[in-house]
């Protein structure tokens, strides 16, 4: 029981760390996007590197989150490969928008996968809760019965 609790705590800690990496990458990507649009608007300078760097940061964050999700290894590797391939292809605003659509689709798919996993865990918790309750009632009844039958 203690080992299972420790394993669950370690898994939870790993997911928190992956989410922190994703959040940092997201903030860095927003900085690059901000820089791109600020330069383009204020100075008329078109620097596609900022969009490329933003896509790379978002791909890094996606990879961190992808590792923490319950899915088979091949699907995970394909997802990471597709996102990084699309991030590497960013060279203008249209390709960046295409990358963002792909990333959004991948994140929506991951969200559904995570939701299914949480529902499965919730179902198991409900089953074990009822099992515990029924064993508790059975034990209580057997204790009362043994005290009643004792001479």
User: Is the residue at 133 inside a domain?
Assistant: no
Domain range for 31 is 2-114
- CB-CB neighbours of 7 under 10 Å: 10
Q: How many domains does the chain have?
A: 1
The percent of the chain in helix, strand and coil, each rounded to the nearest 5, is 90, 0, 10
User: Is the residue at 144 inside a domain?
Assistant: no
User: Is the residue at 78 inside a domain?
Assistant: yes
- Please report, in tens digits, the pLDDT of each residue of the chain (151 residues total): 556 667 777 777 887 888 888 888 889 898 888 888 888 888 888 888 999 999 999 999 988 888 877 778 888 899 899 999 999 999 999 999 999 999 999 888 878 877 777 788 788 888 888 989 999 999 999 989 888 888 6
User: Is the residue at 134 inside a domain?
Assistant: no
User: Is the residue at 136 inside a domain?
Assistant: no
Any idea which residue has 């019965």 for tokens? 145
DSSP state of 147: H
């Amino acid at each position: 029981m203690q080992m299972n609790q420790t394993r669950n705590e370690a898994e939870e800690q790993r997911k928190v760390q992956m989410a922190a990496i994703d959040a940092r990458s997201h903030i860095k990507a927003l900085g690059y996007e901000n820089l791109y649009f600020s330069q383009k608007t204020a100075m008329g300078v078109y620097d596609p590197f900022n969009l490329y760097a933003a896509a790379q940061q978002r791909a890094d964050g996606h990879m961190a989150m992808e590792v923490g999700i319950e899915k088979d290894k091949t699907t995970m590797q394909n997802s990471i490969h597709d996102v990084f391939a699309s991030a590497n292809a960013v060279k203008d605003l249209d390709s960046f928008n295409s990358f963002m659509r792909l990333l959004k689709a991948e994140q929506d798919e991951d969200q559904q996968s995570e939701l299914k996993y949480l529902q499965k865990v919730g179902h198991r918790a409900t089953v074990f809760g009822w099992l515990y309750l029924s064993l508790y009632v059975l034990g209580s009844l057997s204790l009362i019965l043994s005290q009643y039958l004792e001479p």
